[in-house]
Amino acid sequence: MMHIMRNAKHPKINTRSAAKEASHERIVSVAARAIRRSGYDGTGVADIMKEAGLTHGAFYAHFASREAMLAEAATRACAESAAVVAGVAAGSPPDQAMAAMLRAYLSPEHREQVEVGCPLAALGSETPRQAPEVRRATTRHVKEMVDFVARQSPDWGQPGAHERALATVATMVGTLLLARVVDEPALADSFCEAALKQLVPVSH
The span from the CA of 93 to the CA of 69, in Å, is 38
Residue 155, pLDDT score: 86
Indicate which CATH number applies to the domain containing 138. Answer: 1.10.357.10
pLDDT digits (tens, 9 = 90+) for 111-154: 999 999 999 999 999 999 999 999 999 999 999 999 999 999 88
pLDDT of residue 154: 85
For 31-80, the pLDDT digits (tens) are 999 999 999 999 999 999 999 999 999 999 999 999 999 999 999 999 99
Which residues constitute the domain of residue 171? 2-203
Q: How many separate domains does the chain show? A: 1
Residue ranges in the chain assigned as alpha helix (H): 2-38, 45-51, 66-90, 97-105, 108-112, 119-123, 132-151, 159-181, 185-199
The pLDDT confidence band at residue 13, using thresholds 50, 70 and 90, is low
Which residues, in sequence order, are CB contacts of 121 under 8 Å at separation 6+?
Answer: 173, 176, 177, 180
Q: Does pLDDT of 204 surpass 60?
A: no
Distance CA 68, CA 204 (A): 42
